[in-house]
Structure 1
C-alpha cells in the first residue's frame, strides 16, 4: 500500500544493479516461471518497490524474490515485516467483491483514514497484500464491461460505481472540496492516474478508456489553475504529472481513432512542458506528436517533431530516449520515400539502443525494448516497399514481445500479417491474422482493428486458398459481432 511516508528501498535498488527496471522485471518473471509462480511484474512495479510504496510484497512475489536471492530475507531486500503492514492493509484494502460506492452527496458513515484526493484514486497499482494477477483480472473484467466500469478502475481501483452513467455522460466523482493548498497527496494522485491509465492501455488498448480518462486530466489542470503548491518541488511534480496525463489521454485518443483530439492533448502537454522548462516532458510530447503525424499522413511534420524531441532529449543523458526519437524520425523519412535518410537514422537508432538502459530513462519508456525497436524498423521497411524485410522484423517483434502486453502483441501480429500478405506468404499471413483475432477479446484498439482490416483486404483476392478463406471468414464474423455490439450500446 502506498504511503505518503514511503522511504526509498535502497537495498532493493542495489540488487537491480545496472539493469533497467524493465530488464529487472523480466528477470523476475523468468524466476517466477522457474518455481511455478505467475507474476506480471513490469517496470512500474519495480519502480514502486524502489520508491518504498510497496512496503511488503505479496506471497507470490515473496517466493520469487527469495528464489532469486537465496540466503537473503525480506528484511535484507529492504521490505518491512508482513506483520507490520498487514493491519493497516486490512483496514484500507478494498474487499475482493466490491461494494457499491455511496452517492457523491452522501458522506460515509465512518471517515476515511486519509482525506480523499481530487481523483478519488488510491495510489495502489500493485498492492503490498494483493497480486497483480488478481488486479489484472479485476481490470480486465471492468474493461470488458464498458466505459463506466473502466472509469471506476482508473479513478478508484477495485470498486464499481453505484450505477453506470448513461452513454456520453461523464461518470460522477466523489464530491470533495477544491484544495486551497496542493500537497503530496494531490500530486501522488495525479502520478497514480497516469500509471493506472498506462496499465489499462498496455493490457487492453485505448477504446473505451478515452472518455473516462479525460476526467482526471481535467482535475489535474484545475489543480494547476487554482491550487497553491506547498513547495516548489510539489509545483514542479504537479506540472510534470499534468503534462504526462495529457500525453496519456492524447495517446488514448490516437489509438482509438481520434487524431484531432490527440493533437490537442499533445499540444497541451507541450505547452505545459515549455512553461515548466521540463525537457523530459517536452521530448515525450514531441515523440507522440511525431508518431501521430506519421499515422495521419503528415510525414515532414513527423520528421520535424522527432528532431525537436531529440534536441530536448539531449539534456537528459538517456540513449534509449534518443534511440526512440531517432526511430520516429526514420519512420517519417521512410514514408517520404527517402531511403538514404531513413537508413542513416535506423543505423543511428540501433547504435543508441545498444548503449543500453540508464537511470535517466523516463518512466514512460518502459514499453521501449527490443520488440518496439523491431516493429518500428518493420514499419520503415514496409513504407519503403521492402515487404520481406518488414515481415522479418515484425516476426521478430512478435517472438520477443512479452505476451502479458496483449495490446502490443496484437499490434505486432497485425503488422506481421500485412507484411506477409504483401510478400506473398499467404498461409503465414492468415496465421498471423488468426493470432490477432485470438487477442481481440482482450484488446480494444481501433488502430489495431484498422491494420487487421487492411491485411484482410489484401488477402481477399486469394480467398480460395483454404487457410486464407478460413481467416477471412473468421474476421468477417468478428467484424459483424463488433458492429452489433456498438449498435447495442
Structure 2
C-alpha cells in the first residue's frame, strides 16, 4: 500500500504545473535542469519519496523551483516547495538511489558541521533501522555509479580518503569522541572535500571505490557520534554508510555497519532489535573472512546475552571463537584488523555477565585487557566491566581494587559510553553493604574526569 503524501505544498505545485500524474516527466525535466551539476538520475520513484518526506539537497531544490517556474509561468521560491529548512531533517531513511545517498550525505554532513554541539532531534528508531537493513540486504545492486560533474576524480584522490579515515579512527580509539573537536574537524572535511568529490566526474570503477571510502568515513563518524551520545546522528550516518556500501558493492563493510547499529541498539536497551540487525548482518555477509565472522558473532552474543537467551549467546560465542582461531590464515579487510582476542574476551565478559554467569565471565577478564597501547578507550571500558562484574558477583574487595585501577585509564578519554559504564559501576557498588573502602572508591569514581 502506498504511503500517504506528507508534503502537500510540493504536491500542489506538481498538480498546478501539470505533473500530478506525470512524475516521470517531472524527473526528466529536473535532470535536464540540473545538467550542470552532473548526470542526475532522478525518476518517478524519487518524486514519490519527495512527496512523502524525503528532503533533496539545496541544489536539487533550486532546480525543482526552476523546472516548476518554467511550467507555471511565474517565479517559484524554494521555500514554496515545502521541504523546510535544512535543520528540519528528520530521521534518516535509507536512500533509494545513489543520487539520493549523495544528497543525503551533503545534508547531514552540513547539518553536523553547523550544529555540532546540538544533538540531532529524535532517538534511535527501530523501524527505520529495520528498513535500512532490508534495503541493504535485498535491494538490487546499482548497475553503475559513474557520474559526470565539475571535478574529475581519480583513483589516487580516493586513496587519500582512506588515510584520513585511519587518522580519525586512531584519534577516536585513543581519546574517545566525547569532545566535539575531532568530530568538528571531520565534519568540516566531509563538507568541504568529500561532498564535492561525490558530485564530481568518475568512472564506475573509481566511483565504487569512492563510495566505499565515503561509507568508511560515514561509518567512522557514526561510531564517534554513538560514543559521544549523539544517537540520532549516529543512526543517520550508519544508514547513509549502508547505502554507500551498497553502491560500492561492498557487502562485508555493510555487514560491519549493521553490526555497529546492533551494538548501538544493545547500548540503548533495544535488545530484540539488536538481535535482528546482527542476524541480518550475518546473513548478508555470507561466506565472509574469519575476522569479519568473529566480529559479527561476538556482536550477536552480546545481543542474546541482553535478551537472556543463554543457549543462543553461548552458541554465538563458540562460533566467534572458532572464527578467531582461523584469523591467522583468513585476516579479512583492513578495517576489521582492530578486532582481536581481547575484543572477543570483552564481549564474552559482558554477555556472560548479563546472563549472571559471573564465574565464567571473569575467566575472560585477563585476556580482555591484553590490548594494544592505542586502544585507550577500550581498555578503560573493559577495566570498568571487570570491576562491575566482580561487584555484581558480590566480590566487593576485588571490585574496589579494579575500580581504583580505572583512574589511570580514564584521564585522557572523553566518552559518553565510558561515562555511562562508570555510572553503572557506581550504582552497583552503592548497592553493596556500606564499608570504608566502598565509600572511598565511590568518591574516587565521581572525581574521575570521564564520570562528569
Shorter-chain TM-score: which interval? 0.5 to 0.7
Alignment-derived partner of residue 148 in structure 1: none
d(CA) in 1 for partners of 2:349, 2:384: 12
Report the Cα offset of residue 377 of structure 1: 0.8
Alignment-derived partner of residue 99 in structure 2: none
Match of 1:181, SS state, is coil
User: Is 1:420 matched with 2:390?
Assistant: yes
Alignment-derived partner of residue 382 in structure 1: 353
The C-alpha deviation readout for 1:224-259, integer Å capped at 9, x for no partner, is: 541112x44322221100001011000001111121
Match of 2:337, SS state, is helix
Aligned residues: 307
Unaligned runs of 5+ in 2: 1-113, 119-148
Alignment-derived partner of residue 326 in structure 2: 355
CA contact (8 A) 1:410 1:435 kept: no
Alignment-derived partner of residue 133 in structure 2: none
The C-alpha deviation readout for 1:139-194, integer Å capped at 9, x for no partner, is: xxxxxxxxxxxxxxxxxxxxxxxxxx99959xxxxxxxx96101244312311221
From 212, 231, 239, give the equivalent of 2:185. 212
User: Which has the larger share of helix?
Assistant: 2
Report the Cα offset of residue 321 of structure 1: 0.6
The C-alpha deviation readout for 1:60-86, integer Å capped at 9, x for no partner, is: xxxxxxxxxxxxxxxxxxxxxxxxxxx
Alignment-derived partner of residue 280 in structure 2: 308
- Describe how 1:29-44 pairs up with structure 2 within 5 A: none
d(CA) in 1 for partners of 2:365, 2:441: 19
Match of 1:368, SS state, is coil
Alignment-derived partner of residue 445 in structure 2: 475
Alignment-derived partner of residue 373 in structure 1: 344
Alignment-derived partner of residue 42 in structure 1: none
Report the Cα offset of residue 452 of structure 1: 1.3
Greater relative contact order: 1 or 2 (C-alpha under 8 angstroms, separation 6 or more)? 2
TM-score normalized with structure 1 length? 0.59
Q: CA RMSD in A?
A: 2.5
d(CA) in 2 for partners of 1:439, 1:301: 32
Cα 1:219–1:306 change in 2 (3 A) is: farther
Alignment-derived partner of residue 219 in structure 2: 247
CA contact (8 A) 2:225 2:233 kept: yes
Alignment-derived partner of residue 270 in structure 1: 242
d(CA) in 2 for partners of 1:450, 1:459: 14
CA contact (8 A) 1:220 1:242 kept: no
- Describe how 1:59-458 pairs up with structure 2 within 5 A: 168=117, 180-208=151-179, 209-219=182-192, 221-229=194-202, 231-316=203-288, 318-358=289-329, 361-398=332-369, 400-458=370-428
Report the Cα offset of residue 357 of structure 1: 3.3
TM-score normalized with structure 2 length? 0.63
Cα 1:463–1:212 change in 2 (3 A) is: farther
CA contact (8 A) 1:193 1:216 kept: no
Which has the larger Rg? Answer: 2
